[in-house]
Every structure is written in C-alpha cells, then in structure tokens.
C-alpha cells in the first residue's frame, strides 16, 4: 500500500518529521489497528498536492506540470500517488503515478482493512508515470509496473544506476493525456538513498540549494499576514500571550477538521493561563495566489466548528519558511511573546486532554528559561 507522503495524521506522540522520512499507514491514521474506532478513511484526501515545481532529489528528477493539468488535480479529477519497490531491499524502481479519478472515487470512503485502499487505487484509470527503474529493466516489465504502454527514456540517473522514464497510457482520456504530455522533466544530481530507504520524499524549499530544515527557522518576529476574513495579524499579536499554539492544517484534511472542536475547548480553558491558539490554512494560498474555494471552505469550517480563534492565511514568506516542508498535517508548533518559535513540533491530531498536557509542558519550558 502506497499512500502519498502528504496527508492527515492522528498521533498520540510528538513526532518531528525529518527530511526523507516516510509516513507509515498507522501514523497517517490508515492503520488496521483493531482498537481504531475510525475504521474508514477517504483516499482522495491523501493524494499528492499541486506545486509550482516538483523536485525529487532521491530520484534525481525534477518536473513541472502544465497549469491545466494542475487544475485537474486541484479539482480532484486526477490523483497523484507514489510507488516504489520495498524500502528494506535494494531499490529496483520508484515512480509517481497520475490517475483519472471519477466523482465516485473522489467521494469514496473505504475500509482501512480488507484491502479497501488497494481496491480503490486499482480502480483508478492510469494516465502516466514519471520515475526511475534499475538500469536495463525491460520495457515489458516497466509496462506491467506502471500500467502504461508507451515509454520515453529521458536519460540515465546521475549515479548511472537507473534509467529515467516518462510513461503514458494510450487508452487514457485524450485531453488528460495531452496535458500530461506537456510535463517538463529534467534530470538532476541524484542524492544517495536515505537510511530509511524511502526515495519519494520531495525537496520543498526550492529557493535554497539545500533541502529545507525547519530547525533553521527560529522566529516569526516580522510576521505580517491576514486571517481568512481579511483582518490583520502580525507579530504584535504574539505579545498579548505568553505562548501561542500555531496549528497548521488544510481544508481537505479530515483529521485536521475533526480536531478543531477539541482545540476550541483548549483555547477557551487555556486563555486565562496566557495561551492562545491560531490556525493556519495552508491551502488558502496556491501557485496562483489566493485559493477562493479553500478560503470559503475554511470560513464554513470556522463557522460550523464554532472556532473561537483566527484562521490565518500563509503570507508571502510562508511564515518565514516555517510552513515549507510539512509532510503530514495537522502540524503544530509554539511561539512565545517575543515572536520566537519555541519548544517541540507536534505532528498529528490530539484530544483536548492531550493538548492541555502538551501546553502545560511547553509553558513550563519557557517559564524555566
């Protein structure tokens, strides 16, 4: 089972996500744990999201999709997923898949067990793939793996071990296929495979030469943004509280939305202790600027959950780069009254009780400084 590395996640433990780290099914909330009360999930919520440019350093590839193709993805007409050979064995192949998704598949909710996800994924109509295969792999074998019948060899990986292919399925819908063929692909320096074996992690800080490191972002002292209703929010708003909890989420993330009522309870109880909460709606802004659909959806979520704290928009700096490289949502971090990012990063949703314990711990840290 291969779900995308960007997804909603529910966890009872703090978890700092590191470069090259894959997210397990259990961490994503898609495990088959018998104690799991939520026995179903929505696969379309776990598809990879659109970006201006995709840079896969462990594949040694980068590519850009056409704007129209990205619109199809944003409209959930296309599901972008990933697939690679077993991570505990020598790498044989790794590729990204692009698949037509029907309205039924978009809305589908499947069982976490009994092959629910596999049935859903197998029902998708393959458009094409981009990836690498062990050198001299027969095209017939590649066809079986990719579900494609046409393969264009882009070249050989920089380490000389893999052939890079752009593959398509001639039986896919012509308009989708034609847009996919507009993809611009380039071979780049291939990084050595990470220790965990997962090569489908993507470089997300495209403006720097090194992969993004959240630990390098220490402050939000120059932050200036707005909430979803257009109200200003700046670093001065941090000064009003000893500690501000920043909950990063997306409107498409089911676990994120389900967590909000718990956060409302936490905010109402902890405010008297000098603690505030703000949400950051990551999909409120996309490559084309403001995402009006996501903004309207976030307003509806704010109203229905009776959220007593603001939902903020990402600013031009993406919160001084702090929002870059997030691989699983919701993700939560803390800011002190001076606008400094403090304490630990927490990945995954928690109950109100669990968040209160976390906040007490983080409050204790800043008071003992």
9 pLDDT band, cuts 50/70/90, is low
Average pLDDT of the chain to the nearest whole number: 84
Average pLDDT in the 12-29 region?
36
Q: Which of 25-34, 118-127, 260-269 has the lowest mean pLDDT?
A: 25-34
203 pLDDT band, cuts 50/70/90, is low
Domain coordinates in residue numbering, the chain: 35-187, 216-367
124 pLDDT band, cuts 50/70/90, is very high
> Which pTM value belongs to this model?
0.54
21 pLDDT band, cuts 50/70/90, is very low
**CA–CA distances in Å: residue 90 to residues 93, 94, 97, 133, 159:** 9, 11, 21, 12, 15
In the prediction, which pLDDT does 20 show?
35
Element (H, E) at 63: strand 61-64
Average pLDDT in the 104-116 region?
84
Higher pLDDT: 351 or 115? It is: 351
253-309 pLDDT per residue, tens: 888 999 999 999 999 999 999 999 999 999 898 767 888 988 999 999 999 999 999
In the prediction, which pLDDT does 2 show?
38
Q: Is residue 121's pLDDT more than 50?
A: yes
d(CA 166, CA 153): 6
DSSP string, 121-182: HHHSEEEEEEEEEETT--HHHHHHHHT-SEEEEEEE-TTSSEEEEEEE-TTS-HHHHHHHTT
Q: Is residue 16's pLDDT more than 90?
A: no
219 pLDDT band, cuts 50/70/90, is confident
The CATH number given to 216-367 is 3.40.30.10
162-168 vs 150-156, strand pairing mode: antiparallel
Q: Is residue 4's pLDDT more than 50?
A: no
For residue 31, count CB atoms less than 10 angstroms from its CB and return exposed for 0-12, middle for 13-18, buried for 19 or more.
Answer: middle
Higher pLDDT: 344 or 7? It is: 344
160-196 pLDDT per residue, tens: 999 999 999 999 999 999 999 999 999 999 999 888 7
321-361 pLDDT per residue, tens: 888 767 678 999 999 999 999 999 898 889 999 999 999 99
**CA–CA distances in Å: residue 215 to residues 14, 22, 210, 219:** 15, 19, 13, 10
Q: Which of 90-94, 122-126, 317-321 has the lowest mean pLDDT?
A: 317-321
Average pLDDT in the 90-100 region?
96
């Amino acid at each position: 089972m291969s779900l995308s590395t960007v997804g909603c996640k529910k966890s009872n433990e703090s978890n700092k996500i590191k470069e090259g780290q894959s997210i397990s099914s259990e961490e994503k909330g898609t495990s088959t744990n018998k104690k799991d009360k939520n026995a179903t999930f929505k696969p379309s919520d776990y598809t990879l999201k659109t970006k201006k440019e995709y840079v896969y350093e462990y594949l040694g590839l980068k590519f850009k999709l056409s704007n129209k193709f990205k619109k199809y993805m944003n409209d959930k007409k296309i599901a972008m997923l990933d697939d690679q050979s077993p991570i505990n064995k020598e790498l044989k192949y790794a590729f990204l898949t692009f698949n037509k998704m029907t309205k039924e598949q978009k809305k589908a909710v499947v069982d976490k067990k009994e092959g629910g996800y596999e049935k859903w994924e197998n029902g998708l109509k393959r458009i094409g793939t981009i990836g690498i295969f062990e050198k001299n792999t027969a095209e017939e074998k590649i066809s079986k793996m990719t579900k494609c019948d046409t393969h264009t060899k882009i070249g050989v990986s920089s380490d000389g071990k893999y052939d890079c292919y752009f593959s398509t399925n001639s039986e896919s819908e012509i308009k989708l296929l034609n847009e996919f063929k507009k993809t611009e692909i380039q071979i780049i320096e291939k990084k050595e495979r990470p220790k965990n074996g997962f090569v489908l992690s993507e470089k997300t800080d495209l403006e720097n030469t090194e992969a993004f490191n959240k630990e390098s972002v220490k402050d939000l002292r120059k932050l200036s943004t707005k909430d979803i209703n257009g109200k200003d929010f700046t670093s001065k708003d941090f000064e009003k509280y000893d500690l501000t909890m920043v909950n990063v989420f997306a409107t498409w993330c089911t676990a994120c939305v389900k967590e909000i009522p718990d956060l409302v309870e936490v905010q109402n109880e902890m405010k008297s202790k000098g603690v505030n909460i703000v949400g950051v709606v990551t999909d409120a802004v996309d490559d084309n600027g403001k995402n009006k659909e996501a903004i309207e959806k976030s307003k509806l979520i704010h109203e229905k959950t009776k959220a007593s704290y603001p939902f903020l928009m990402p600013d031009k700096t993406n919160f001084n780069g702090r929002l870059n490289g997030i691989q699983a949502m919701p993700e939560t971090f803390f800011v002190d009254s001076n606008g400094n990012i403090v304490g630990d990063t927490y990945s995954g949703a928690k109950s109100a009780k669990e968040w209160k314990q976390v906040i007490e711990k983080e409050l204790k840290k800043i008071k003992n400084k």
